[in-house]
Amino acid sequence: MRLLLATTNQGKIKELNKILGDEGFALEGLGKQAAEVEESGATFAENALLKARYHHQRTGLVTIADDSGLEVEALNGQPGIYSARYAGAGASDLDRINKLLQEIKEVPDAQRAARFVCVAALVWQGGERVFVGEVRGQLLRATRGDNGFGYDPIFYFAPLGKSFAELSDAEKTAISHRGVAFRQLAQWLKEHWQEVEERYRRYAGKDCADD
Ligand code: ITT
């Protein structure tokens, strides 16, 4: 049985293959030509499900998709689901960071809490589930570090005394919102894989009177 990860983001595919690979699963990403699904939901979960349902319907494969972003306490949870679009179309990671730093420049250090959230959705014949991960940190006043992507250079994680962009890939996966959500998903799949496969067999044999 193949697992589809509904993203064209190669970094994501690599990171998540590592997590799911540890549990014996292999993921394949979407081809470069894959249609973009409009993220029109009002929550991370709705957007993740929209993507996973679309590609599951198209391919019939057990499909995983995620949506993630940064919620800033002083901005009542913004940019949230708009994290990728925060500085408009065509903007770079640095543009988004600069816009956010500008927006919160008057916010004192003690009130610069933020969290990364990731919702991973799993859709298969006859079922769907979502898994949520989050990690809490503080927003810095200037960037630190060159690793990672997105808002990593301004997200400070006090327990390690580093920004997310100062962590190695393995360190980040061990604590990140995406790592947390996908480890739960991997664990669930491991425990329920037979059930999921059985469902496929029944659908394939059109033996699903109770569906
Ligand atoms: P998809 O094709 O899978 O949708 P994406 O790059 O748009 O990939 P997301 O929708 O999951 O990724 O993420 C939305 C934005 O949230 C992303 O562009 C970053 O700006 C921010 N973000 C999410 N996870 C992050 C992380 O681990 N570190 C830094 N920024 C992150």
- pTM confidence score: 0.92
Show which residues are catalytic: 67
What's the maximum distance between 2 C-alpha atoms anywhere in the chain? 63
Interval 102-130: pLDDT, tens: 999 999 999 999 999 999 999 999 899 99
Write the residue with the smallest CA distance to atom 15 of ligand 1.
Answer: 84
Of 10-19, 129-138, 189-198, the range with the highest mean pLDDT is 129-138
Separation between Cα atoms, residue 111 and residue 107, nearest integer Å: 6
C-beta 125 within 6 A of ligand 1: no
Give percent of the chain with pLDDT exceeding 70.
Answer: 95
Query: Ligand 1 centroid to 191 CA: how many Å?
Result: 28
C-beta 67 within 6 A of ligand 1: yes
Query: Ligand 1 centroid to 36 CA: how many Å?
Result: 15
C-beta 69 within 6 A of ligand 1: yes
Separation between Cα atoms, residue 64 and residue 124, nearest integer Å: 9
Query: Ligand 1 centroid to 85 CA: how many Å?
Result: 10
The predicted pLDDT at position 209 comes to 40
Quote the number of domains for the chain. Answer: 1
Separation between Cα atoms, residue 107 and residue 155, nearest integer Å: 15
C-beta 79 within 6 A of ligand 1: no
CATH of residue 54: 3.90.950.10
6 within 8 A of 55, measured Cβ to Cβ: yes
Interval 4-41: pLDDT, tens: 999 988 888 888 988 988 888 888 999 887 888 899 99
Ligand 1: residue of 5, 32, 68, 72 to mutate (most ligand atoms within 8 A of CB) is 68
Give percent of the chain with pLDDT exceeding 90.
Answer: 74
Range of the domain at 120: 2-210
| 21-25, 158-162, 170-174: segment of lowest average pLDDT | 21-25
Higher model confidence: residue 199 or residue 40? 40
How far apart are the two ends of the chain, measured CA to CA in Å?
Answer: 21
